[in-house]
């Protein structure tokens, strides 16, 4: 199974709502990522989890709260969002950045189809 799944596909929420985005992969990847993508822009990294631990937080506002319950699942909890947070949220996974010799390398990332989020 070389697929990354994301739910829901579309989400409309008010600024006072609490919602969660979910991401799942069964490729045995130990690195998982959240990206935010605005229209006609490249994806921007939000968070990186490596071995279920948060490795990178790109100064994301606290109204976005990531969670990695196990090696296959990644959640993004949303609370008190703003209209400017409307975007496509992409999840990705990879084998991890480190090679067998412990040397920093890079593996391709597998992306999910994304969740289109609209904040009213």
Partner 1 sequence: SQQGEEDPQALSIQEGENATMNCSYKTSINNLQWYRQNSGRGLVHLILIRSNEREKHSGRLRVTLDTSKKSSSLLITASRAADTASYFCATPYTGGFKTIFGAGTRLFVKA
The residues that touch partner 1, with contacts defined as CB under 8 A, are 4, 31, 33, 40-43, 45, 48, 50, 55-56, 88, 90, 92, 97-98, 104-106, 108-114, 116
Least separation in angstroms between residue 62's CB and partner 1 is 20
Minimum distance of partner 1 from residue 16's CB (angstroms)? 27
Minimal distance, residue 58 CB to partner 1, in Å: 8
DSSP state of 15: T
Torsion angle (degrees, nearest 10) of CA 29, 34, 38, 39: 20
Residue closer to partner 1 (CB basis): 71 or 98? 98
In angstroms, the CA 65 to CA 25 distance is: 19
Q: Shortest Cβ distance from residue 104 to partner 1 (Å)?
A: 5
Indicate the residue among 78 and 109 with the shorter CB distance to partner 1.
109
* Residue from 31, 36, 21, 23 nearest 105 by CA: 31
User: What is 47-87 written as a DSSP string?
Assistant: EEEETTEEEEE-S--TTEEEEEEETTEEEEEEES--GGG-E
CB nearer partner 1, residue 50 or residue 65: 50
Cβ proximity to partner 1: between 35 and 64 the closer is: 35
């Amino acid at each position: 199974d070389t697929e990354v799944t994301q739910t829901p596909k579309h989400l409309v929420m008010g600024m006072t709502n609490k919602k969660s985005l979910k991401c799942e992969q069964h490729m045995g990847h130990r690195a998982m990522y959240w990206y935010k993508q605005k229209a006609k822009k490249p994806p921007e990294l939000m968070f990186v989890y490596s071995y279920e631990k948060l490795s990178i937080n790109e100064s994301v506002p606290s109204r976005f709260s990531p969670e990695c319950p196990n090696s296959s699942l990644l959640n993004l909890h949303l609370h008190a969002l703003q209209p400017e947070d409307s975007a496509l949220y992409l999840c990705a996974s990879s084998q991890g950045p480190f090679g067998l010799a412990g040397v920093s390398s890079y593996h391709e990332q597998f992306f999910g189809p994304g969740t289109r989020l609209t904040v009213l």
